[in-house]
Amino acid sequence: MAATGAASATAKAPLDPALAAAAPGGVLVVDFGAQYSQLIARRIRECRVFSAVVPHDTPPEELHALEPAGLVLSGGPASVYEPGAPALDARLLELGIPVLGICYGMQSMAQALGGEVAHTGRGEFGKTAMEVRSRDGLFHDLPAESCWMSHRDAVVKAPEGFRVTAETAGSPVAAMEHRARRLYGVQFHPEVIHTPFGTDLLKGFLFDACDCAPTWTAAQVIEEQVARIRAQVGEGRAVCALSGGVDSAVAALLVHKAIGDRLTCVFVDHGLMRMNEGEQVETAFGGHFGVPLVHVRAQERMLGALAGVTDPEQKRKIIGREFIRIFEEESQKLQDGPGGAPRFLVQGTLYSDVIESGSRDASKIKSHHNVGGLPEDMAMELVEPLRQLFKDEVRVVGQELGLPDGMVWRQPFPGPGLAIRIIGDVTEERLDILRRADFVLQEEIRRAGLYRDLWQSFAVLPAIKSVGVQGDERTYAYPIVIRAVTSDDAMTADWARLPHDLLETISNRIINEVNGVNRVVLDLTSKPPGTIEWE
């Protein structure tokens, strides 16, 4: 995939230490700045082979030391001739490890080995008809009649020893292979769904060329992480802040499995959770899993700090600040407790957070922590067992560990909780109204089987009242806003087209069951221009 700017992976920094345990036998994606490097890694993982993205300037000897079974060179900038275009270190091709170059990755491979890449003056974008020339290798019996392309330059002459295995109108070398050296290149994108045989081609590379075994499963991830955590923590003690979300819950369970009661979880219940959420954490962790749990009920303190505050950013700041203070106070108590001070802090940092923050520095505390960042001066070593996992993989691991479905599949919920869904003053009374309305909405969305299809669905309580009539009485009460969106990543979102019957049920139930509400309205705004949350 041609990127518009320079390569994203330019900084030289140490590789993520978590890779050393996970990479052997897996396939590493060498990132030349493609939009789709992560997607390639995902596709490989879907084939049950571990995969991770590494920067293109990782020295070949470092890659070799990770013992991957194969390498994929990703797409990248428009042209290998562009000034500053990331160069392929040709030694990568001499490691004896099978390599698949995709788009720019194939062009770099061709260029490094003496082939020819040229501006053909004819780019190919989107669905492109293709003709297979050789079926001895990756194409074998695949129905490869069309593929998905995105390029201007093309390999016009394959390097010596390579066989051209496919061509298109704009790419005389749409695919090439050197089977003896196990070097492969494709101009098209096998990782996107628009290349219908793409996954099968990747499987050919993984299981035939690289001889990978499809063993990367949730059970294996758990086993690996447990061993890793034991090695890191030794006889030490750890503490984890639970938020009620799936990431911190799975991270905590993994650490508990590894070190047992030497983990203490601190659940700061800020009183801004939804109905029954606090109890759910208590029942699962303190009860079912038997994890030492400090449940801090801080609603009163939080509402005190929020009294009279209506500005959304102020609310966030106050909640973040109070959360940190409470967590610090509780950690301080643990310092003096039996077994000595915890030296390790467990965090549910995900692979996407690692990539997003552009940092491979394991010691950096996640800046966009769910609630607003944990204190940086806590001088604790981080334990981050999810650093190599995507969100959906975390869910699968959570299921395998026996986490209740309600927590595994919980829609994203903001750290400041219901406070940013109550416009204006956050009071106990208004929290109660919103919580009840939200509960009805959640229940009906789940009953309709839509909960997992929606990115988020929730109720909002505005700061206005309107006139209504119930029975013979005139009412003057709050409206509730229904907000439901579909999205892939929360960067953009569309309002969900909920069935009218469902909306009717939700509306009737909220008005009948929630005192203080006399009207239900629907938010029909996509993002942009709206945000998902109302504050």
Positions marked active-site: 103, 189, 191
Site string for ligand XMP, 315-344 (x = CB under 6 A): -x----------------------------
Judged by CB under 6 A, the chain residues 454 through 493 that form the site for ligand XMP are 456, 490
Phi first, then psi, for residue 35 (nearest 5°) are: -65, -25
Q: Residue 4 Cβ, how far from ligand XMP at the closest point, in Å? A: 24
Of positions 22, 47, 346, 532, contacts ligand XMP by CB under 6 A: 532
Judged by CB under 6 A, the chain residues 83 through 122 that form the site for ligand XMP are none
Is 503 in contact with 492 (CB distance < 8 Å)?
no
Q: Which residues contact 332 (CB under 8 A, 6 or more apart)?
A: none
Q: Residue 531 Cβ, how far from ligand XMP at the closest point, in Å? A: 3
Cα 478 to Cα 520: distance, rounded to the nearest angstrom: 9
367 touches ligand XMP (CB under 6 A): no
Cα 37 to Cα 351: distance, rounded to the nearest angstrom: 13
Site string for ligand XMP, 408-447 (x = CB under 6 A): ----x-xxx-------------------------------
Three-state SS letters, 21-85: HHCCCCEEEEECCCCCHHHHHHHHHHCCCCEEEEECCCCHHHHHHCCCCEEEECCCECCCCCCCC
Output 388 or 456, the one with its CB closest to ligand XMP: 456
Q: Look up residue 484 and give its DSSP letter.
A: E
Measured torsion, CA atoms of residues 105, 111, 115, 121, in degrees rounded to the nearest 10: 80
Q: Residue 302 Cβ, how far from ligand XMP at the closest point, in Å? A: 15
527 touches ligand XMP (CB under 6 A): yes
Estimate the crossing angle of helix 500-513 against helix 428-447, to 10 degrees. 150
Output 263 or 350, the one with its CB closest to ligand XMP: 350
Output 75 or 416, the one with its CB closest to ligand XMP: 416
Output 107 or 456, the one with its CB closest to ligand XMP: 456
Of positions 10, 220, 335, 531, contacts ligand XMP by CB under 6 A: 531
Residue 101 bridge partners (DSSP): 73, 185
Of positions 370, 388, 442, 507, contacts ligand XMP by CB under 6 A: 370
Among 39-47, 94-102, 179-187, 407-415, which window interacts with ligand XMP (CB under 6 A)?
407-415
Output 172 or 320, the one with its CB closest to ligand XMP: 320
Q: How many residues does the chain have?
A: 535
| Site of tokens 């890659």 | 63
Among 43-51, 154-162, 178-186, 525-533, which window interacts with ligand XMP (CB under 6 A)?
525-533
Is 198 in contact with 205 (CB distance < 8 Å)?
no
366 touches ligand XMP (CB under 6 A): no
Q: Residue 527 Cβ, how far from ligand XMP at the closest point, in Å? A: 5
Three-state SS letters, 393-428: HHHHHHHHHCCCHHHHCCCCCCCCHHHHCECCCCCH
Cα 365 to Cα 523: distance, rounded to the nearest angstrom: 36
Measured torsion, CA atoms of residues 20, 21, 27, 32, in degrees rounded to the nearest 10: -40
Q: Residue 415 Cβ, how far from ligand XMP at the closest point, in Å? A: 3
Q: Could you tell me how many residues of this chain bind ligand XMP (CB under 6 A)?
A: 12
Cα 135 to Cα 131: distance, rounded to the nearest angstrom: 11
Binding site for ligand XMP (CB under 6 A): 316, 370, 412, 414-416, 456, 490, 527, 531-533
